[in-house]
Amino acid sequence: MNLSNLTPAVGSTQTRKRIGRGTGSGLGGTSTKGHKGQKSRSGYSKKIGFEGGQMPIQRRLPKFGFKNVNRVEYKAINIETLEILAQAQNLTKIGLQELRDGGFLSRTALAKILGKGVLTVKIEVEANGFSKSAEEAIIAAGGTIVKL
pLDDT for 1: 80
Q: Which CATH architecture has domain 74-147?
A: Ribosomal Protein L15; Chain: K; domain 2 (3.100)
Q: Where are the domains of the chain?
A: 74-147
Beta strands in 10-137 (DSSP E): 74-78, 93-94, 110-114, 124-127, 129-130
Q: Which ranges in the chain belong to alpha helices (H)? A: 57-60, 79-89, 96-101, 132-140
The string of pLDDT tens digits covering residues 122-143 is 999 999 999 999 999 999 999 9
pLDDT digit string (tens) for 33-90?
999 998 999 999 989 999 989 999 999 999 999 999 999 999 999 999 999 999 999 9
3-state helix, strand, coil in the chain (%, to 5): 25, 15, 55
Taking the mean position of all CA atoms in its chain, how far away is CA 57? 25
